[in-house]
Amino acid sequence: MDNVETMHTAVASEQPTQAPATPSAPSEPPPTRQKPLRRLRLPGSMRNLNMRRLNWHTLKRQLVPFAFLAPFLLIFAAFFFAPFVYALIQSFYKEERSGLGFGPPTIVWAGLQNYSAALHDPQFWDGIKRVILFGVVQIPIMMIVALALALLMDSAVIRLKRFFRLAVFIPYAVPAVVATIMWGFFYSPDASPIVAVFTAFHLPPPNFLGKDVLWSIANISTWEFTGYNMIIFFSALQAIPQEIYESGRLDGLSELGIALRLKLPLITPSLVLGVLFSLIGTLQLFNEPLILQRLSSYISSTYTPNIFAYNIAFVETNYYYGGAIAVILGVVTFAFSYGFLRLTRRQSGV
């Protein structure tokens, strides 16, 4: 018996001892393979609706710039384009009277007769030559003065820059009619303080309204538009990064060298813009000579092309011939402007 108990004890000792069972965490189910989602196909009406919405949003995005441009385009079309087209149409007609000129006027087709008459009219070409001479002298002087003032405003030499900018710009805010009347007072031999100063020193006073009245008009135009061009040049100078100036100073450039070698080349587009606007304004010279015409006998009804067209159309009531002169003047202005732009682009290599 003892042997049997001993064998049972040995067998029990040889069996591995098992740890007590503990509650185990629930096992996660095996991942199931999801089926790919199928695209939802909309009915044809829904697809068309979405496409229409997309096209409408795209169209609105494209129309936004034109909505902002619409006020300018309407004003430009009403006051510039439409009158030019009307003058162009009128220039191909003329007025005739029957019965030795005592019959009722009739409007007949004239073709290019008005243009032929204008191109062979020496008074028209005298006005063109006069305004070209005016521009050749006045525009460079005005550009140089405006550029010098802009460079001074951009430098650290002067103080009270805001005051001086406003003082130079104020003449541009004065209407051309008011400015001409004011300068007419200065030019008048009887009331001019300038003439009084010359007389006080027993010097012969200048005759501002004599045969050289063209340069008196040039003085008025320079006084009016120098501030405008100065603001254009000064704005361009303010847009230049200051690091460029610092690099120039490190290279040993003086302030004059910075102005000539750095500032001027960088504001060339603004200079071209100023000259272009001045060229267009010169060919359209009208207000100043028309007002000074009452003070000077040297300003005739054909003094400038614009005055010539005005007198033909509204004084002599020949609207058809006046329209032809206006169209020719517009073409000449476009030709000069386009030629100047082509020349400047060729010089700059564009």
- With b meaning 16 or more CB within 10 Å and e meaning fewer, what string describes 246-257? eebeeeebeeee
Is 222's pLDDT higher than 90?
Answer: yes
Is 196's pLDDT higher than 70?
Answer: yes
**CATH number of the 120-348 domain:** 1.10.3720.10
Domain ranges of the chain: 66-111, 120-348
Is 18's pLDDT higher than 60?
Answer: no
Would you place residue 11 in the very low, low, confident or very high pLDDT band (cuts 50, 70, 90)?
A: very low
Is 271's pLDDT higher than 80?
Answer: yes
Q: What pLDDT is recorded for position 41?
A: 53
Q: What pLDDT is recorded for position 341?
A: 87
Q: What pLDDT is recorded for position 28?
A: 53
Is 97's pLDDT higher than 90?
Answer: no
Task: Please name the amino acid found at residue 292.
Answer: L
Q: How far apart are the C-alpha atoms of 288 and 328, rounded to whole Å?
A: 22
**152 with 233: CB under 8 angstroms?**
no
Q: Mean pLDDT, the chain, as a whole number?
A: 84
Q: What pLDDT is recorded for position 143?
A: 96
- With b meaning 16 or more CB within 10 Å and e meaning fewer, what string describes 152-164? bbbeeeeeeeeee
* Burial class (CB within 10 angstroms; exposed 0-12, middle 13-18, buried 19+) of 208: buried
Would you place residue 101 in the very low, low, confident or very high pLDDT band (cuts 50, 70, 90)?
A: low
Q: How far apart are the C-alpha atoms of 2 and 285, rounded to whole Å?
A: 144
Q: What pLDDT is recorded for position 84?
A: 87
Q: What pLDDT is recorded for position 34?
A: 53
- Which residue would you say has higher pLDDT here, 237 or 100? 237
Would you place residue 185 in the very low, low, confident or very high pLDDT band (cuts 50, 70, 90)?
A: very high
Q: What pLDDT is recorded for position 157?
A: 76
Task: Please name the amino acid found at residue 159.
Answer: R
Q: How far apart are the C-alpha atoms of 178 and 288, rounded to whole Å?
A: 10
Would you place residue 245 in the very low, low, confident or very high pLDDT band (cuts 50, 70, 90)?
A: confident
Instruction: Read off the DSSP letter of residue 104.
Output: -
pLDDT in tens, 45-89: 555 656 666 677 777 788 888 888 899 999 989 998 898 899 899
Question: Is the whole model's pTM more than 0.95, yes or no?
Answer: no
